[in-house]
């Protein structure tokens, strides 16, 4: 990352929020034009949220406050991967495999509830288009292909790969998540955790007939 933008991110992380004037002063008296230029780039990269007007006690032109987005957290070290791994291990020990499956299905259902399907979907292909677009916002690098008797949903990337390769049970979560998004439980034919280069789910036409 370019140094000035890195300095802006560091300042916002340390102070929580800042106006353009505060950033100009903190970063060596940069001009407001320069700071706004870098903030615009950081917004386009998804690292800074759109600015919010600052509350003022006196009337006048409002100043705007900038804050980091959640995506910016990925720029800094964290301990989430080992924590998640041991959390799943402990849950499996305390709850047992079956109850862990129930828990993962509940998480998959809650996550899928955030997806808002397009009411104009008239074919399963259109539904897949929208689901794939949704999955790609989460880093799946998904695509779908029609087959003679089914549809294939290909996931070229697994957002949970670092944990899933040691906890294959997460593949069940992925299957349940796809099922809640599609309204049909797909057949998970291959997974990266199982040694494949990508995850492949198949949805038979016979199941789609009951959905439409």
Per-residue pLDDT reduced to its tens digit, 76-113: 777 888 888 899 889 989 999 899 899 999 999 999 99
Can you tell me whether residue 201 is helix, strand or coil? Answer: strand
pLDDT attached to residue 56: 64
CATH of span 3-75: 1.10.10.10
Domain with CATH 3.30.1380.20 in the chain: 80-211
What is the arrangement of strands in the sheet containing 18-19, beginning at the earlier edge strand? 18-19, 64-66, 52-53
80-211: in CATH 3.30.1380.20: yes
Pick the residue with more confidence: 17 or 122? 17
55 pLDDT exceeds 80?
no
Percent of the chain residues past pLDDT 90, beyond the cut: 47
Domain with CATH 1.10.10.10 in the chain: 3-75
167 pLDDT exceeds 60?
yes
pLDDT attached to residue 10: 92
> Which two three-digit tokens encode residue 51?
């600015």
pLDDT in tens, 1-51: 788 999 999 999 999 999 999 999 999 878 999 999 999 999 999 999 998
pLDDT in tens, 59-68: 667 788 999 9
DSSP string, 119-164: TT--SHHHHHHHHHHHHHTTT--EEEEE-SSEEEEEES--TTHHHH
Average pLDDT over the chain reads 87
Tell me the pLDDT band of 206, cut-offs 50, 70 and 90. confident
Q: Torsion over CA of 10, 11, 12 and 16, rounded to 10 degrees?
A: 120
CB 3 within 8 A of CB 34: no
Q: Which of 163, 169, 194 is nearest to 84 (CA)?
A: 163
Query: Strand runs (DSSP E) across the chain, as ranges?
Result: 18-19, 52-53, 64-66, 142-146, 150-155, 187-190, 199-204
């Amino acid at each position: 990352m370019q140094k000035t933008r890195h300095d802006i991110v560091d300042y916002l992380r340390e102070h929580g929020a800042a106006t353009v004037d505060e950033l100009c002063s903190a970063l060596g008296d940069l001009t407001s034009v320069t700071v706004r230029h870098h903030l615009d780039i950081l917004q386009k990269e998804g690292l800074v949220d759109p600015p919010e007007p600052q509350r003022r006690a006196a009337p006048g032109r409002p100043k705007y406050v900038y804050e980091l987005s959640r995506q910016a957290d990925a720029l800094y070290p964290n301990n989430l991967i080992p924590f998640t791994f041991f959390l799943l291990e402990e849950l499996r020990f305390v709850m047992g495999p079956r109850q862990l499956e129930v828990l993962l299905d509940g998480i998959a259902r809650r996550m899928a509830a955030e997806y808002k399907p397009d009411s104009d979907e008239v074919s399963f292909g259109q539904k897949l288009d929208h689901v794939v677009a949704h999955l790609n916002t989460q880093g799946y690098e998904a695509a779908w292909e029609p087959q003679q008797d089914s549809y294939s949903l290909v996931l070229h990337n697994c957002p949970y790969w670092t944990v899933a390769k040691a906890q294959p049970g997460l593949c069940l979560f992925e299957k349940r998540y796809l099922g809640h998004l599609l309204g049909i439980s797909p057949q998970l034919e291959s997974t990266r955790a199982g040694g494949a280069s990508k995850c492949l789910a198949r949805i038979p036409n016979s199941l789609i007939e009951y959905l439409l």
